[in-house]
Amino acid sequence: MADKAERVAHYAKNLMYEVGVIAHSCGVPEPRRLKRFHAQTINDLGLPQSLDELHPPAEIKPEYRADK
């Protein structure tokens, strides 16, 4: 059981490192600053398209806005 815990800890540590590398390559100082426009996918035409275009943020209904 200890071996599995060590493997999970090692996986988590490596995952956090790799996400940090991705954040750095996108020009943000930390992973929590990544936004939809930083990620892209290849569309049917073979062209990159940002996730911000594919899945725009949902509109908040006026009755639920905090800035009434």
Model pLDDT for residues 54-67, shown as the tens digit of each residue: 998 888 898 888 87
Q: Can you give the residue range of the structural domain that contains 37? A: 2-55
Q: Could you tell me if residue 38 is inside a domain?
A: yes
Q: For position 43, what pLDDT does the model report?
A: 92
Q: Which run of H or E residues covers position 41?
A: strand 40-42
Q: Could you tell me if residue 65 is inside a domain?
A: no
Q: Could you tell me if residue 43 is inside a domain?
A: yes
Q: Could you tell me if residue 61 is inside a domain?
A: no
**Cα–Cα dist 16/13, whole Å:** 5
Q: For position 1, what pLDDT does the model report?
A: 72
Name the band, by pLDDT with cuts 50, 70 and 90, for residue 46.
Answer: very high
**Cα–Cα dist 54/34, whole Å:** 16
